[in-house]
């Protein structure tokens, strides 16, 4: 299930291309089918590149553990660039991140990075998008999996 969640964009893309190829091969000449395949594939690639969710690539496991040991609360957004829910929620996550930056440090972590794999194993954050909130002592105090939480809920937490 986690694999499907993290790579849903690829699966949806393959289904779209497969359906388009099947229908076009039935009702169009081969050259039109080839042109259609190139157009669909190009559109999907452009969509994917345009909507990358933007990780903080400079964060390693060591820097993450160091950030937990500071006196500042930490909000970690775990996502995947291949997840349809993550890509569609990007504008809401961007807005939420701007508001949360006023309250705490916020980092985005791609679930396939070293830090993402560490968070999956140590904090069981397999579903994406996930929000993990750590207090100023480095203890996880709240999590939200599979969507974008309401800002008021996070603000109500005792950082």
Is there a single domain that holds both residue 10 and residue 77?
A: no
Task: Answer whether residue 55 is part of any domain.
Answer: no
Is there a single domain that holds both residue 44 and residue 66?
A: no
For 84, half-sphere exposure in the C-beta direction (CA atoms, 13 angstrom radius) is 9
Rounded CA separation 51/81 (Å): 8
- pLDDT above 60 for 5: no
* Domain tally, the chain: 2
Is there a single domain that holds both residue 37 and residue 84?
A: no
Task: Answer whether residue 42 is part of any domain.
Answer: yes
Task: Answer whether residue 86 is part of any domain.
Answer: yes
**pLDDT tens profile 15-54:** 888 888 888 878 878 788 888 888 888 887 777 666 655 6
pLDDT, residue 49, reads: 67
**pLDDT tens profile 102-146:** 888 889 888 888 888 888 888 877 788 889 999 988 899 999 988
Is there a single domain that holds both residue 150 and residue 90?
A: yes
Is there a single domain that holds both residue 74 and residue 136?
A: yes
Q: What are phi and psi of 55, to 5 degrees?
A: -80, 160
Q: Give the range of the structural domain holding residue 34, as residue numbers without chain letter.
A: 2-50
Task: Answer whether residue 134 is part of any domain.
Answer: yes
In order of 16, 41, 68, 80, 112, the CA distances from 10 in angstroms are 10, 11, 34, 11, 15
Is there a single domain that holds both residue 38 and residue 67?
A: no
- pLDDT above 60 for 1: no
Is there a single domain that holds both residue 69 and residue 122?
A: yes
**pLDDT tens profile 71-107:** 889 999 888 887 878 878 888 888 888 888 888 888 9
CB under 8 Å to 129, separation ≥6 — which residues? 77, 78, 79, 83, 85, 86, 89, 93, 146, 147, 148
Is there a single domain that holds both residue 102 and residue 43?
A: no
Is there a single domain that holds both residue 138 and residue 113?
A: yes
Is there a single domain that holds both residue 75 and residue 104?
A: yes
Quickly count: other Cβ atoms within 10 Å of residue 137's Cβ.
10
Is there a single domain that holds both residue 29 and residue 89?
A: no
- pLDDT above 80 for 56: no
Is there a single domain that holds both residue 65 and residue 143?
A: yes
Task: Answer whether residue 38 is part of any domain.
Answer: yes
């Amino acid at each position: 299930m986690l694999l499907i969640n993290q790579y849903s964009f690829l699966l949806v893309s393959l289904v779209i291309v497969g359906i388009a190829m099947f229908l076009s091969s039935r009702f169009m000449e081969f050259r039109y089918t080839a042109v259609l395949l190139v157009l669909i594939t190009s559109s999907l690639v452009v969509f994917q590149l345009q909507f990358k969710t933007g990780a903080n690539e400079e964060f390693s496991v060591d820097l993450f553990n160091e950030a937990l040991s500071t006196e500042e609360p930490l909000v970690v957004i775990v996502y995947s660039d291949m997840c349809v829910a993550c890509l569609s929620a990007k504008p809401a996550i961007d807005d939420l991140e701007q508001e949360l930056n006023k309250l705490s440090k916020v980092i985005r972590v791609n679930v396939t990075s070293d830090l993402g794999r560490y968070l999956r194993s140590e904090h069981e954050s397999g579903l994406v998008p996930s929000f993990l909130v750590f207090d100023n002592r480095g203890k996880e105090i709240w999590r939200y999996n599979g969507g974008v939480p309401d800002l008021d809920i996070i603000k109500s937490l005792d950082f």
